[in-house]
Chains A and B, each alone.
Chain A
Amino acid sequence: QITLTQQAESLWVSPGEKVSITCRASQSLLYTDGKHYLSWYQQRPGQTTKALIYHASIRTDGVPTRFIGSGSGTEFTLSIEDVQPEDIALYYCLQTLKKPSFGGGTKLELK
């Protein structure tokens, strides 16, 4: 069982700023194929949950370039540059190296 910890339950940001959301895993998410099995998701009220990033740093189709995934081993970050009002949402990390588990979520709020 792998535990993911998103330290910040909430982050406050103004439009145009940059924000970083961190996710820490209880063990390395690097597999023998050289890929990290860590993905990021956005949850907005009234919309389906959206996959943003997979394998730690690859954006899914149509995701704006202001969403940047980074990190390796056990430490991962989702950065959002030039935050837009529509980015106000809940963000979750997910590991799929073993039985899937999610981080606790980080709520992005407007200052």
Chain B
Amino acid sequence: AVQLVESGGGLVQPGKSLKLSCSASGFTFSSYGMHWIRQAPGKGLDWVAYISSSSGTVYADAVKERFTISRDNAKNTLYLQLNSLKSEDTAIYYCARGYNWGDWFAYWGQGTLVTVSS
């Protein structure tokens, strides 16, 4: 069965950095595009970034100068590097499996909480 497990969240001060991971299993990770999505407490879903199977990337305007999505196909792991964190980045961060750009988000992880606060 497809499984996505996020990790790396926690409490971080404004301006600091954090790196999230998403461990994938149950499918050929290298063949699929992957997404990060976030959800602020009590709010809706907000798309963050996409990486294709060939490591092409697309970012939401709100994060493109601060966040970096990457992948390690040998480790079946997706990453999100969060830099210059702001209080408005506080959210649960989910990874999701797509396929090609434009495809729906077929599978999601359970999320990891990032709290940005002094």
Tell me whether A and B are bound partners: yes
- Interface readout for A27-54 with B: 1 if CB under 8 Å, 0 if not? 0000100000101010100001111001
Contacts of B105 in A (CB 8 A): 39, 41, 49, 51, 94
Residue of B nearest to A96 (CB): B102
Residue among B45, B104, B110 making CB contact with A105, cutoff 8 Å: B45
Residue of B nearest to A101 (CB): B47
A73 within 8 A of B: no
With the chains together, A105 CA to B60 CA distance in Å?
Answer: 19
Q: Which of B45, B106, B107 has the most CB of A within 10 A?
A: B45
Contacts of A49 in B (CB 8 A): 45, 94, 96, 105, 108
Residue of A nearest to B47 (CB): A100
SS class, residues of chain A in contact with chain B: loop
Residue of A nearest to B110 (CB): A48
Contacts of A101 in B (CB 8 A): 47
Interface residues of A, Cβ cutoff 8 Å to B = 31, 37, 39, 41, 43, 48-51, 54-55, 60, 92, 94, 96-97, 99-105
In the complex, given contacts A49-B105, A103-B44, what are 10 additional A-B residue pairs having Cβ atoms less than 8 angstroms apart? A48-B108, A49-B108, A51-B106, A51-B108, A60-B106, A92-B44, A94-B104, A96-B101, A96-B104, A99-B58
